[in-house]
Amino acid sequence: MTAQESIDARILSYYGELFDEGARLTTRSAQGPVEFARTQEIILESVSAGRVLDIGGGAGVHARALQSAGFEVEVIDPVPRHVDQARAAGLSARIGDARALPFQDAEFDAALVLGPLYHLAAREDRQLALREAARVVRPDGLIFAAGLSRFIAFGKTTLARGIPDPYPDEWVAVAARGEPTAGMRFPAGHFHTAEELDEEVRSAGLEVEAVLGVEGPAGSLLESLEGAGEELVQAALTVARAAASVPGVRDMSAHLIAVARVRS
């Protein structure tokens, strides 16, 4: 079994049996609603109408919001549970792989790639997923591609622990190459820096307009609080907006989003 086959099997188990992705963006913690609100803002700042493909769209939380805003939305995801949840929410959804999309060229005005990149370990697979998204989006259309922050991943791996001697190779792998540690419950394939995400999206032939931090520096705090309160959530959103494009600071967001345009 290849590394990616192992991750793919873990994805089906994790999202199919262990973790409710829909609740993550809504009720699991205050971080989810902040991530959801900022992601929607980033999308709607650039796209106002049209047909959108949500690749790796999970339970369809983002797709449902866009459909309610008047977009025509299609969801594709490898997890049967997610597809069933999206269909139950009134969305058009099917099972599929980001690396081999079952659509014709230039069918969509925009595509969301908000999960696949951080579940794909090999750069070649991430490039394939980005090129497939570009293929099915019309020229001058937009792609929103997300990565998980390497800075946050390294912090969660090492904080509140002593500094070992010798320094663990796994810690070096996270910081230097974005490689997940062994035994991680979450089926991660890769953690990005903002600069690396920018480079990978450009290498796939897209024109990058921005790479933005999503939740901002307060996102990790909100994830650890049982009850944050609306005032704190609004403050976190204000900081997230201000920090979104600041180099270095944007990496303090758990999620990064590249806003990119398909070349005409």
Coil, strand, or helix at residue 248? Answer: coil
pLDDT digits (tens, 9 = 90+) for 173-201: 899 999 999 888 899 999 999 999 999 99
pLDDT tens per residue, range 125-157: 999 999 999 999 999 999 999 999 999 998 888
User: In this predicted structure, what is the pLDDT of residue 136?
Assistant: 98
SS (H, E, C) 152-182: HHHHHHHCCCCCCCCCCHHHHHHHHHCCCCC
pLDDT, averaged across the chain: 93
Q: What angle do CA 182, 188, 192 make, to 5 degrees?
A: 110
Alpha-carbon distance of 59 to 253, in angstroms, equals: 22
**pLDDT, tens digit (0-9, with 9 covering 90-100), for 25-76:** 887 778 888 999 999 999 999 999 999 999 999 999 999 999 999 999 999 9
Is the predicted pLDDT of residue 204 greater than 90, yes or no? yes
∠ at Cα 250 (119, 40), nearest 5°?
Answer: 70
pLDDT tens digits, 111-127: 999 999 999 999 999 99
pLDDT, position 150: 96
Residue 14 is classified by DSSP as I
Provide the pLDDT confidence category of residue 160 given band limits of 50, 70 and 90.
low
Q: What is the pLDDT of residues 239-255, one digit of tens each?
A: 999 999 999 999 999 99
Of 65, 19, 199, nearest to 127 by C-alpha is 199
| Residue pair 121/189 in contact by the 8 Å Cβ criterion | yes
Residue-wise pLDDT for 70-90, tens only, equals 999 999 999 999 999 999 999
User: What confidence tens digit (pLDDT) does each residue in 207-227 have?
Assistant: 999 999 999 998 888 887 767
The closest alpha carbon to 180, from 120, 252, 224, belongs to 120
